[in-house]
Amino acid sequence: MPLPWKAVLALVLAGPWTPAAGEDDPTPREAPRRYVIERVEVVGLETTREEEVRRRLLVSAGEVLNDEQVLLSRLRLLQLGWFSGVTTRVERGSERGRVVVVFDLTERNTLLVSDLVLGWTPPQGLYGGFGLAQQNFLGRGLGLSGAFVYGGSRLDRPQDPSLFGVRGSFFAPDLPARRQRLVAGATALFLRGEELTCSDPDCDAYAGALGGAPRLRYERLGGEAVLGFRPGAFERLTGGFRLEALSAEIVPGSGTDQGPAPAILPGESLLTALTGSYEIDTRDDSFFPRAGVRATAQITFASPFLGGDYDYSRYLVQFESAFAIFKKRLRLQAAVGAVQGDAPFFDRFYAADFAYFSIGPALWRSMELNFSTDSRYDTAVAMAGLEYAVPLWTRRGFLRRGYLALGLRGVYTTTGPGAGRTDASAWPVSGEVALRLDTPVGFFNLSTGALVDFLL
């Protein structure tokens, strides 16, 4: 397995060792003793199956003890999210030169709250959502998750269909195979949404009477199946097939301002696409990392040759470092994406999804449902930001850990090549002050940026 990127960088910067000027090479020392692992013990398990832990270790009996592989095994176990603590120790074996490696694990609750949404907008009124994720189903390392968001009918239009979304997924992150560790998963979704199609984002022509605004009413039913493998212990490479049945209807407004509708074929249509993704995650902690990086690259290729009605490609790369830039508690965030061809609007980029807040009507979407009046979707996006972390506490109890996050982001979007920047908001730079909490039922983010987004 390759060395972590920070270890490689340290070796490159250090360069080869050479004796100081005027000094002779030191007398060769006796080579360090090589210890052989007699056995590997796993203690502290209650619900997780031991074989699932052992399959993720990078050390095994009969090998020469390697401190780095023990450290990386501990990091990999922490990244699973099954354990609140992982400690390692080396004990004497049955004879000289043999050792026992012990992994002492403290399990944590793996049924977590994955989504918690509550909001209000002028056209929608109150809406909310909730989701659960089981990260270690039956103790076998399988992932199950489900979530929903519900908004009901739009204000002033109680006769209209309710807006809602439901999503469920299954993921097997580490299936045993002869030569590689395989990954597999599937996702299913059903969404019923609306996009207001005024010529301006605020729908000023229908101020005070948004029920009369023109709209695009649509439904999405489908899912995606993926299969892949792990090139390394902290990497994942997958390919998949996506299939969605779409339905779209234009509902005219009561006034003269009808505006352009977001891109989608009217009536019934079919979306078929091949997908691919690469992910690497070397962070030492998913809640408050101090070292490592996380990066993802995704591609979607849709074509009539696959039996669908859409022809486009979509690319998105996202990156974030741990809180360790210039030896400060800084995290770098970045994203860049582009769409080529006639992609439906929901596969384009909504600028508010990448910002902490938007000054204007745009509001971050919930499960890809847009409850605001702003229906501007773009074909290119770029985001860059920094977050500074202030650790607050680490203790036992429900509020296990907490830190204060101070962030700043800039977002650039455009509707097409050479079209110039889209005014995604009146001010493209947004800030954040948030309290992040680690609890037995999941991570929670108390964000002032989200509150500002609703107020603005």
Taking only the tens place, the pLDDT of each residue in 110-119 is: 999 999 999 9
Q: Is 50 exceeded by the pLDDT of residue 5? A: no
d(CA 275, CA 241): 6
Calculate mean pLDDT across residues 166-174.
93
CATH 3.10.20.310-classified regions of the chain = 32-107
**Per-residue model confidence (pLDDT) at position 193:** 96
Calculate mean pLDDT across residues 219-226.
98
**Per-residue model confidence (pLDDT) at position 418:** 62
Q: Is 60 exceeded by the pLDDT of residue 16? A: no
CATH 2.40.160.50-classified regions of the chain = 111-455
Q: Is 70 exceeded by the pLDDT of residue 13? A: no
- CA 59 to the chain's CA centroid: 29
**Per-residue model confidence (pLDDT) at position 20:** 38
User: Tell me, what DSSP letter sits at residue 345?
Assistant: G
**Per-residue model confidence (pLDDT) at position 328:** 82
Contact 346, 365 (CB under 8 A): no
The larger pLDDT score, comparing residue 328 to residue 367, is at 367
Kindly report the average pLDDT of the chain as a whole number: 88
Taking only the tens place, the pLDDT of each residue in 227-246 is: 999 888 899 999 999 999 99
- Consecutive H or E run containing 115: strand 111-121
Calculate mean pLDDT across residues 202-229.
94
**Per-residue model confidence (pLDDT) at position 208:** 84
What percentage of the chain has pLDDT greater than the value 70?
A: 90
User: Tell me, what DSSP letter sits at residue 25?
Assistant: P
Q: Is 60 exceeded by the pLDDT of residue 144? A: yes
Exposure of 166 in the CB half-sphere (CA atoms within 13 A): 4
d(CA 455, CA 359): 9
Q: 286-305 burial, b for 16+ CB within 10 Å, e for fewer?
A: eebbebbbbbbebbbbbeee
**Predicted TM-score (pTM) of this structure:** 0.86
Strands (E) in 139-292, as ranges, are 142-152, 163-175, 182-196, 215-229, 235-251, 267-281
d(CA 248, CA 255): 21
Report which listed range, 10-24, 279-293, 304-318, 418-432, is most confident: 304-318
Show Cβ contacts of residue 59 under 8 Å, excluding neighbours closer than 6 positions.
37, 40, 65, 66, 69, 70, 73, 101
Looking at CATH, the fold of the domain delimited by 111-455 is given as: Porin (2.40.160)
Looking at CATH, the fold of the domain delimited by 32-107 is given as: Ubiquitin-like (UB roll) (3.10.20)
Contact 174, 141 (CB under 8 A): yes
Measuring CA to CA, how many Å separate 85 from each of 100, 104, 107, 241, 437? Answer: 20, 8, 7, 37, 17
Taking only the tens place, the pLDDT of each residue in 49-81 is: 998 899 889 999 999 999 999 999 999 998 888
**Per-residue model confidence (pLDDT) at position 19:** 37
Calculate mean pLDDT across residues 388-403.
93
Q: Is 60 exceeded by the pLDDT of residue 370? A: yes
**Per-residue model confidence (pLDDT) at position 420:** 59
Calculate mean pLDDT across residues 75-89.
90
